[in-house]
Amino acid sequence: MDLYAVFGHPVGHSLSPRIHRMFAEETAQQIEYERREPPLDGFADALRAFREEGGHGANVTVPFKEEAWSLADQRSERAERAGAVNTLVCGETLYGDNTDGEGLINDLRNNLGVGLAGKRILIVGAGGAARGVLGPLLAEQPASLVIANRTAGRAKVLAKAFDDIGNIEGRGLDTLAGERFEVVINATSSGLEGEVPALPESVVSDGATAYDMLYGAEPTPFLRWAERNGAFRVRDGLGMLVEQAAGAFELWRHIRPSTEPVIETLRHDTR
C-alpha cells in the first residue's frame, strides 16, 4: 500500500486522514494515510525519514507550510506565489504544490454556487492563510479584491506582491466604513480566540456571501456576526478543507474523488 501522511504541529485533530481514507475507498485506491507531528524544528528530518520509508506524498499544515516550500525541489506556479506548500509529491525529486486556493474556489463555486468573476471581494487578514489563496482568487478575475488587515502595513505589502496579476488593494480594517462587498472571506485566526475582526457591518449588509476559512462544530464568531448584520449566506471552511484535500488526492493518484458525500459525512459528525 502506498504511504501518505499529514505533517503538522499540532496535528492530532486533523481531519485529513479521515478525508483521504474516504476518498480512497470511493475511488478504490490502496493507500495508507498517517498523521506525523514532528517537533517544531524537526520537519525537515521527519520528512526525510518519511521519504526513506517510501512515503509517496504528504499534506502539510500549520506551521510547516513555508518550510515545505523551501524544501521542495520544484514548485507549481501557484505554490511559488503563495510562498507556502500544502501538498508534496515525493519522487526522485520533491514537488510542492498548494491546493488551498483551488479548495476555496471550488467550495464557493461548486458547493455554494458562488462564482467570483466580476465580484467585489473582501479578504480579511494578511497572514499565511490569506497569502495562500490570493493568486487563485485573482485568477477568477473578480472586479476588485481588497485585503483588509488589523495591521494595515501587512495588507499593503501582501497586495503589492500580487498586484501584477489583478486588481488588488491592501488596507487597514479601519478604512472600510460604508463600503459594500459581494463576497467577504475571513482569513484571520481571530475566531480561534473567540473574536471577530473589527469590521463595519456595511461590508456584509448588502446580502454578501460570508465565508470563514475556519470551521468548527458551532458557527464561528465571524459567521454569527455576518448573519446578524445582513449576510445572505454564511459558510465555514469545512468544504474548503475537503476540496483542498481532493486537489492533493488527484495530484497523487490521478483520479478526482467526489467531495460532496465526504463534506456531508463530516458535517453530520461534527454536529
Write down the least CB distance from residue 15 to ligand ATR, Å.
17
**109 touches ligand ATR by CB under 6 A:** no
Task: Report the residue number, 99 or 188, with the smaller CB distance to ligand ATR.
Answer: 188
* The three grid cell numbers given for residue 247, joined into one nine-digit string: 486537489
Rounded Cα distance between 56 and 115, Å, is 34
Shortest Cβ contact with ligand ATR: which residue?
A: 127
Query: Who's near 163: CB < 8 A, 6+ residues apart?
Result: none
Place of cell 489583478: 166
Identify the residue among 127, 166, 172, 219 touching ligand ATR (CB under 6 A).
127
Do residues 204 and 230 lie in contact, with contact meaning Cβ atoms separated by under 8 Å?
yes
**269 touches ligand ATR by CB under 6 A:** no
Identify the residue among 17, 42, 128, 230 touching ligand ATR (CB under 6 A).
128
**45 touches ligand ATR by CB under 6 A:** no
Rounded Cα distance between 158 and 97, Å, is 20
Rounded Cα distance between 177 and 232, Å, is 19
**259 touches ligand ATR by CB under 6 A:** no
In the three-class reduction of DSSP (H, G, I as helix; E, B as strand; rest coil), residue 100 is classed as: helix
Write down the least CB distance from residue 154 to ligand ATR, Å.
5
Neighbours of 164 (CB within 10 A): 8
Write down the least CB distance from residue 126 to ligand ATR, Å.
5
Assess whether 65 carries a catalytic annotation.
Answer: yes
Size of the site for ligand ATR (CB under 6 A): 15
Span 146-205, contacts to ligand ATR by CB under 6 A: 149-151, 154, 188-190, 195, 197
Write down the least CB distance from residue 130 to ligand ATR, Å.
6
Rounded Cα distance between 168 and 160, Å, is 8
Provide φ and ψ at 263, rounded to 5°. -60, -45
Write down the least CB distance from residue 124 to ligand ATR, Å.
7
Out of 65, 119, 156, 160, the active site residue is 65
- The secondary structure of 79-128 as a DSSP string is HHHHT--SEEEESSSEEEE--HHHHHHHIIIIIT----TT-EEEEE--SH
Task: Report the residue number, 81 or 154, with the smaller CB distance to ligand ATR.
Answer: 154
Query: Who's near 64: CB < 8 A, 6+ residues apart?
Result: 7, 8, 9, 38, 43
Query: Which among 157, 107, 116, 33 is positioned nearest to 263, based on CA atoms?
Result: 107
Considering only the stretches 73-81, 143-151, 156-164, 230-238, report the one whose residues sit in contact with ligand ATR under the rule CB under 6 A: 143-151
**61 touches ligand ATR by CB under 6 A:** no
Interface with ligand ATR by CB under 6 A: which residues?
A: 125-130, 149-151, 154, 188-190, 195, 197
**Which sequence positions are flagged as catalytic?**
65
